[in-house]
């Protein structure tokens, strides 16, 4: 979501006459688009802001801004800790960014523009304070024009006790389906091959603006008909909203990728209740079983939090059991991080020692990595169709003049593949034969003649 917010903000600034620069030393405007899910993310922003003091002293006219969730949460604290900041803009006010920068240029700074707190006013008034920001898309601001993310909803009403998102991104609201379809159609006409639909709980999407309600499964069916589009993905899903209709849509619609990210967070019913997740470990297993039966080839990924307040060794062992038997493609595993303004901070003591959190985090990662490696080995010798995303990290660091470099792409089920090829292959879909694997990556070889034809067709 932050990547998309940054893309849209950059497009707005380009249309307002700004141009990107490679070095902050030469920038007239320096903006940080921020996250508040974990304390570490906010600490990094304060460190980065501290390093900009000298730029502000040397060039007082440089505008420094903090955007996004941290801006909404920290508010005046940012200006107190970093008084050289000129602009603090919450995620619900990003549509006004060019206007706010102009006001700072005119001498009005510092400016703080935020949406209302969840409890500050009536639900409708608070919701309206989170402005929709869905400007025309610009292929020039995406890493590759053949991939795009599309927001189909904003905010969240789940109120999991550990999560800051409902406080900083506001009430849940779904975009009208007709606007989403029109946006994806324009992207496809502009050469986009893959679209990822975004929502905090994307599968709770429900558009009630028309004659009949439109759920995510219905929306996918409409988007599946768009000419030129090759792949559709959606993240992040909530277990409570993985319906039979949605599973059938993933199974039956040819352009919908057999990939589902469905965070479990814990395998303990007691901890899930404390987290206010709204399901049990048993129900999660039933949901996962339904996916596996309907779509045997589906890649399912998950999230887990270890060290949540009150988590005992038995609770943790139940999580180990769930992860071990579920055989996720991969899992994102986090140590619990207390976030102000969440119910977990109000209700529970952060009583699991950091040493125990680290141990559980590392053990769970090791188990998941072993599963990922074992499952990846089944790909050796197989052919995978990938969308090429460009040079790999290693190739970008090398920065040589070689015609053939290491490229990276993704399969339809979101597996990362690296192979050697020409940079002109970026944005194409082509088959790659997998020769070796590790827990995170498939390493392959492209058919030279096929790759050459694809590159020339660009």
**pLDDT tens digits for range 164-183:** 999 999 999 999 999 999 99
Mean local confidence (pLDDT), 339-360 = 96
Mean local confidence (pLDDT), 15-34 = 93
Position 64 confidence tier, pLDDT thresholds 50, 70, 90: very high
Is the pLDDT confidence value at 153 over 60?
Answer: yes
**pLDDT for the residue 278:** 97
**pLDDT for the residue 341:** 86
**pLDDT for the residue 143:** 85
Is the pLDDT confidence value at 449 over 70?
Answer: no
**pLDDT for the residue 427:** 95
**pLDDT for the residue 450:** 64
Mean local confidence (pLDDT), 86-103 = 96
**pLDDT for the residue 293:** 98
Is the pLDDT confidence value at 119 over 90?
Answer: no
Is the pLDDT confidence value at 401 over 80?
Answer: no
Mean local confidence (pLDDT), 241-260 = 98
CA torsion angle 297 303 304 308 (round to 10): -150
pLDDT more than 70, % of the chain: 97
**pLDDT for the residue 398:** 76
Position 453 confidence tier, pLDDT thresholds 50, 70, 90: low
Mean local confidence (pLDDT), 415-426 = 95
**pLDDT for the residue 315:** 98
Tokens 């071990």 correspond to what residue? 324
Mean local confidence (pLDDT), 367-372 = 98
Is the pLDDT confidence value at 36 over 90?
Answer: no
Mean local confidence (pLDDT), 364-372 = 98
Q: Where are the domains of the chain?
A: 2-126, 134-378, 380-457
Contacts of 18 (CB under 8 A, 6+ apart): 28, 29
Distance of CA 298 to the CA centre of its chain: 20
**Contact indicator for 62, 105 with CB cutoff of 8 Å:** no
**CATH class as words, domain 2-126:** alpha beta
Is the pLDDT confidence value at 296 over 90?
Answer: yes
**pLDDT for the residue 305:** 98
Mean local confidence (pLDDT), 200-215 = 95
Among 95-104, 125-134, 280-289, 293-302, where is mean pLDDT lowest? Answer: 125-134
**pLDDT tens digits for range 316-334:** 999 999 999 999 999 999 9
With 0-12 CB in 10 A as exposed, 13-18 as middle and 19+ as buried, what is 44?
A: middle
Q: Which CATH superfamily is domain 134-378 in?
A: tm_1862 like domain (3.80.30.20)
Given this chain, do its domains 134-378 and 380-457 carry the same CATH topology?
A: no
Mean local confidence (pLDDT), 288-292 = 98
Mean local confidence (pLDDT), 161-165 = 95
Position 75 confidence tier, pLDDT thresholds 50, 70, 90: confident
**pLDDT for the residue 297:** 95
Position 457 confidence tier, pLDDT thresholds 50, 70, 90: low
Is the pLDDT confidence value at 443 over 60?
Answer: yes
pLDDT more than 90, % of the chain: 88
Among 129-133, 220-224, 278-282, where is mean pLDDT lowest? Answer: 129-133
**pLDDT for the residue 58:** 92
Position 352 confidence tier, pLDDT thresholds 50, 70, 90: very high
Mean local confidence (pLDDT), 7-30 = 93
Average pLDDT, the chain: 94
Is the pLDDT confidence value at 224 over 80?
Answer: yes
Note the CATH number of domain 380-457: 2.40.50.140
Structure tokens at 209: 């603006």
**pLDDT for the residue 451:** 58
**pLDDT for the residue 400:** 63
């Amino acid at each position: 979501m932050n990547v998309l917010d940054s893309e849209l903000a950059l497009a707005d600034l380009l249309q307002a006459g700004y141009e990107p620069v490679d070095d902050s030393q030469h920038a007239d405007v320096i903006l940080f688009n921020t996250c508040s899910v974990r304390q570490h993310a906010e600490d990094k922003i304060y460190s980065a802001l501290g390093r900009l003091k000298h730029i502000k002293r040397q060039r007082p006219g440089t505008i420094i801004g903090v955007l996004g969730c941290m801006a909404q949460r920290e508010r005046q604290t940012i200006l107190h800790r970093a008084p050289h900041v000129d602009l603090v803009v919450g995620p619900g006010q990003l549509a006004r960014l060019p206007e706010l920068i102009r006001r700072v240029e005119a001498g009005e700074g510092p400016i703080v523009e935020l949406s209302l707190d969840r409890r500050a006013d009536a639900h409708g008034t608070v919701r309206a304070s989170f402005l929709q920001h869905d400007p025309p898309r610009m292929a020039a601001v995406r890493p590759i024009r053949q991939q795009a993310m599309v927001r189909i909803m904003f905010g969240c009403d789940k109120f999991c006790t550990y999560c800051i998102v409902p406080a900083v991104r506001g009430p849940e609201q779904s975009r009208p389906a007709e606007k989403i379809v029109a946006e994806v159609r324009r992207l496809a006409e502009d050469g986009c091959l893959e679209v990822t639909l975004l929502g905090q709980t994307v599968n709770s999407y429900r558009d009630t603006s028309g004659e009949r309600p439109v759920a995510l499964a219905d929306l996918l069916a409409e988007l599946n008909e768009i000419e030129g589009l090759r792949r559709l993905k959606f993240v992040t899903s909530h277990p409570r909203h993985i319906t039979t209709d949605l599973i059938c849509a993933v199974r039956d619609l040819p352009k919908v990728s057999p990939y589902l990210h469905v965070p479990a967070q814990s395998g303990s019913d007691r901890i899930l209740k404390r987290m206010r997740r709204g399901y049990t470990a048993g129900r999660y297993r039933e949901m996962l079983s339904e996916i596996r039966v309907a779509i045997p080839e589906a890649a399912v990924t998950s999230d887990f939090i270890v060290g949540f307040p009150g988590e005992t060794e038995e609770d943790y062992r139940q999580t180990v059991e769930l992860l071990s038997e579920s055989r996720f493609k991969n899992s994102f595993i986090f140590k619990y991080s207390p976030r102000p303004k969440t119910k977990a901070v109000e209700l529970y003591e952060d009583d699991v020692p950091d040493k125990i959190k680290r141990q559980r985090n590392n053990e769970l990662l090791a188990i998941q990595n072993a599963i990922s490696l074992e499952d990846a080995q089944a790909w050796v010798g197989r052919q995978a169709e990938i969308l090429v995303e460009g040079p790999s990290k290693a190739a970008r660091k090398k920065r040589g003049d070689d015609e053939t470099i290491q490229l990276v792409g993704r399969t339809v089920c979101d597996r990362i593949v690296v192979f050697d090829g020409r940079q002109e292959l970026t944005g194409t879909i082509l088959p790659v034969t997998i020769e070796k694997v590790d827990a995170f990556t498939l390493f392959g070889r492209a058919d030279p003649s096929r790759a050459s034809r694809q590159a020339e067709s660009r």
